[in-house]
Amino acid sequence: MCGIGADGHWHGTVAVRIDAAVLRRLGLHPEQPASGPADPPPPRWWGPWARRSERRFL
Helix, strand and coil content of the chain, in percent to the nearest 5, comes to 30, 10, 60
Q: What pLDDT is attached to residue 55? A: 56
**Of 12, 32, 8, whose CA–CA distance to 20 is shortest?**
32
**Of 23, 26, 27, 1, whose CA–CA distance to 12 is shortest?**
1
Residue range 18-52, pLDDT digits in tens: 888 888 888 877 777 776 666 777 777 777 766 66
Helices assigned H by DSSP within the chain: 20-25, 46-57
- pTM value is 0.33
What's the CA gap between 10 and 23, in Å, rounded?
Answer: 32
